[in-house]
Amino acid sequence: MILRRLAALLFVPLMVAFGSGVYLYLGTLKSKVVKEHAQLPTVTKPKFVLPGTMFVVQDGRIFKLNAGSFTEIGPAGDWSQPALTPDHTRLLAVARAGASSDLYLLDLGGQIVKRLTKNDSKILDANHWAYYPRVSPDGATLFFSFDSPKLVKAAPGVDLSVWSMPLNGTQSQARRWTDPYWYTGGDVSPIPVVGGGLLYVRHSIDPSTAVHAQIYYQTRPFGTGKALTSLADDCSEPALSPDGTQLAMVCSRGKQTAALEVAPFNGGVLGPAKVLLDSGLYASPAWSPDGKALAYLAPAGAAGHFQLWYLALPLPAASATASTSAAGASPASTPRPTTTPAPLAPVQVTQGVDLTGTSAPAWY
Amino acid sequence: MRLVALTVFCLLLSGVAGAAAYFFPVVVAGVGQTGQTVIIPPSVTLGAKTTPAPAASPGAPFTVLLLGSDDDSKFASDHVLTQSMILVRVDPQSRHVAMLSIPRDLWLPLSSGGSGKIDWAYSNGGPSAAMATVERNFHVHIDEYAWIGLKGLIKLIDQLGGIDVLVTNPVLDDFYPDDIGGGYAFGAKRVAVLPGAQHLDGSQALQYVRSRHNDINGDFGRSARQQEVLLAIKAKASTLNAADLPDIVTALKGEFKTSMGLDRVRSLLGVASGFDLANVQQVVLYAPTYTYYPGYYINGNSVVLPHWNQILPVVKASFP
């Protein structure tokens, strides 16, 4: 009798342990989606060593990727959209602070050299957004998207226009380049080109009330912009190659997936595009320093976190001048001709991080 | 022999107890939040034909009315407006999904009597009134409903580890409601969701689907964004398994309720994994094709009015 009671007493902890084990085991069966949290880039090792130096952003922090390792740069804050000056000695970046965002000039170690804009206000709707900083090829002029002026009508209009100001000047010297299509979010992603022209992305609406993105080219402030891509193509996120002859872009064609494309560009005309990758969530392409490869951001794995990818490019795209008629044939309404070469093999560079899709890598 | 049998039995018992403890939140949610009884009230003012409510057999197509609400302190509990109404038909066999967004300002006869904006239906009579109003005006049969509050949507997406969305254009808003954090319920804040493919957490996704002040398509544009996020949630949910459910239902406590039983919720998860976006038909009742702004206020309300001759054929084709 005593032995039985003793056995029963010993059995109770065994049952508790087994039940707890089942409980804990079920917890291990959770899908990766629920369990996987992004790691800081600095605790990860890239799977592929990129040439040169690159700046990327994760969760408001700027990271420098060089020789296969990440280091964090910059002061604390909500930083995004790093961009290099043409001489590669300075970095521009956006710092968001609640209701506003400002542009800063940093050194390559992340120390603030100069605050370029001041957009915060105690009055809520007197705050402003500044995004997408880019410096002209001569290094003298800063271009950016800025939500001024604001429309005060039945519905308050907050749309981005492209503005420019002297890099060594003040915000009071800024002047507006574009007049956005109101209530679409406006004009973004300015790229000043050699000769003084400007590439940017304009959002507008078609007769069926769908909002589209198009890449525009404009030669002077408030000049007439020329659409380089069609409404139907929905192209955005332009990136100009280091020699200025090719334009990489992301084209979604009204879908929730996109194609990564490259087209020749001759300073005002865009040639036929090559679809490099299709039907993915590609974001923020950036050219390698030698112009022979692209980096971009796209999700990988079940968690859907954005990773850095590298894509070596095939032979150079055709000349833009040879296809002027195709590019110039009513781009506002006609999809551009595209070609799809043999499938390319992108290489996943990072693993386990969650890079910010709207911050294109800055690479030199 | 008896000792061995007793040992096995006891271990089985403790194993079942461990599993029961793990899935306890699911059981609680199953009792409290799913399988909500819906009694469609008799029509007070509507002469429209009410479709019968056959019990959908397993594998048969079924229609769900998805309702999204403010659930903040501006409203009395359970008397919230539905900022989002999306009718979804799922055909598990053909793996086809149809989604119809109904504008919240649509002025029509309510099942509870009189006319009003369709977002009042839930506020006046709960899910049964919302379902009845949609059934009788759109001549469609609804099998189930699912309601989620703003905080519930944030928690759901965060539990999923965020979602991937391709934002087509900048979503900027200087008067976005700042009513989630428990402060002043009528406060506002500025939001900016930049364009491009990106990974959104729950709060960012809510800003994307809720902002409307700077959208050229107003509430219609917001409806289209809601469908995008719904599909992104579906894509993410397709990677879940049963072991994920306790965390999700715990997070959604009080923020989600549905007439669907647990068996249908489970089968929906299974169905979600096999759908192709190409098989999803999306309809938004844009003005001026399907609706129109009358150019005047009705009882002080900004409304849109329906072109039923345009709407009903689309509904009939998509929700047979």
A146/A124 same-domain check:
yes
What per-residue confidence (pLDDT) applies to A325?
Answer: 35
In a domain, A68, yes or no: no
For A317, counting Cβ atoms within 10 Å of its Cβ (0-12 exposed, 13-18 middle, 19+ buried), the class is buried
Report helix, strand and coil shares of chain B as percent, to nearest 5: 40, 25, 40
Q: Which CATH number covers residue A142?
A: 2.120.10.30
Provide the domain limits for residue A358: 37-53+231-364
A213/A278 same-domain check:
no
What per-residue confidence (pLDDT) applies to A331?
Answer: 55
In a domain, A29, yes or no: no
A207/A292 same-domain check:
no
Mean pLDDT computed over every residue of chain B: 85
What per-residue confidence (pLDDT) applies to A8?
Answer: 75
Q: What's the pLDDT band for B250 if we cut at 50, 70, 90?
A: confident
Q: Quick: pLDDT tens for A75-125.
A: 899 999 999 999 999 999 999 998 999 999 999 999 999 999 999 999 998
In a domain, A20, yes or no: no
Q: Which of A202, A227, A252 is the last residue of a domain?
A: A227
What per-residue confidence (pLDDT) applies to A154?
Answer: 60
Residue with tokens 């400002």: A102
Task: Please name the residues between 156 and 195 in chain A that touch chain B, using a CB distance below 8 Å.
Answer: 156-160, 181-186, 188
Instruction: Using CB atoms, pick whichever of A15, A124, A257 lies closest to residue B166.
Output: A257
Which residues in chain A land under pLDDT 70? 1, 34-35, 153-155, 315-343
Maximum Cα interatomic distance, chain B, rounded to a whole number of Å: 86
In degrees and rounded to multiples of 5, residue B193 shows phi and psi of: -110, 115
Q: What's the pLDDT band for B50 if we cut at 50, 70, 90?
A: very low
Q: Quick: pLDDT tens for B176-231.
A: 988 877 677 788 899 999 999 999 999 999 999 999 888 888 888 989 999 999 99
A183/A321 same-domain check:
no
In a domain, A326, yes or no: yes
Residues of chain B found within 8 Å of residue A258, distances taken between Cβ atoms: 166, 197
A96/A174 same-domain check:
yes
A26–B contact, CB cutoff 8 A = yes
In a domain, A30, yes or no: no
- Number of domains chain A is built from: 2
What residue ranges do the domains of chain B occupy? Answer: 33-38+59-161+226-318
DSSP state of A126: G
DSSP state of A242: T
The predicted complex's ipTM stands at 0.90
Instruction: Using CB atoms, pick whichever of A22, A124, A282 lies closest to residue B174.
Output: A124
What per-residue confidence (pLDDT) applies to A214?
Answer: 98
Residues of chain A found within 8 Å of residue B166, distances taken between Cβ atoms: 252, 255-258, 281
Please answer yes or no on whether B196 and A284 come within 8 Å at the CB atom.
Answer: yes
**Shortest CA gap B243–chain A (Å):** 5
A83/A222 same-domain check:
yes
Whole-number Å distance between alpha carbons of A318 and A274: 9
CA A101, chain centre distance (Å): 16
Whole-number Å distance between alpha carbons of B111 and B40: 9
A155/A43 same-domain check:
no
Q: Which of A211, A227, A243 is the last residue of a domain?
A: A227
A140/A270 same-domain check:
no
What per-residue confidence (pLDDT) applies to A324?
Answer: 36
In a domain, A297, yes or no: yes
Average pLDDT over residues B118-141: 94
Whole-number Å distance between alpha carbons of A185 and A212: 11
Whole-number Å distance between alpha carbons of B19 and A26: 7
Q: Which of A203, A227, A251 is the last residue of a domain?
A: A227
A284/A171 same-domain check:
no
Instruction: Please state which CATH class domain B33-38+59-161+226-318 belongs to.
Output: alpha beta
A198/A84 same-domain check:
yes
A255/A357 same-domain check:
yes
Q: How much is the pTM?
A: 0.88
For residue A160, the chain B residue with the least C-alpha distance is B170
Average pLDDT over residues B271-289: 80
